[in-house]
Amino acid sequence: MAKAYWVATYRAIKNPDAMAAYAKLSRPAIEAAGGRVLARGMPAAAFEHGQMERVVLIEFDSVVSALAAYESPAYKAAHDLLGDGADRDIRIVEAAD
């Protein structure tokens, strides 16, 4: 089974306090579900209309485990703390062979 990745890009953080509360709970929830944070922060460079926005890359053993992590009660609790405190896009993608 191929690994999978969460790719999260943030267009704006509107509420830094909500973001901090989310961060405090989300990483332990993701790691408890088997996720491994590979990268997070601002890009070193952006090309072809890319934006200099926060990016988080998390590796999972499979798409199934990535989806289960996103839908877990622990991650939902973190997500609820964030509310509309950030404009972001989260995608789950299967690794290439």
Structural domains of the chain ordered from first start:
4-94 (3.30.70.100)
What would the pLDDT profile of 7-66 be if each residue is shown by its tens digit?
Answer: 999 999 999 999 999 999 999 999 999 999 999 999 999 999 888 899 999 999 999 999
pTM of the model: 0.91
Burial class (CB within 10 angstroms; exposed 0-12, middle 13-18, buried 19+) of 9: middle
Which two three-digit tokens encode residue 86?
């950030």
Residues 2 and 17: their CA atoms lie apart, in Å, by 36
Q: Which of 41, 10, 32, 40 is nearest to 78 (CA)?
A: 32
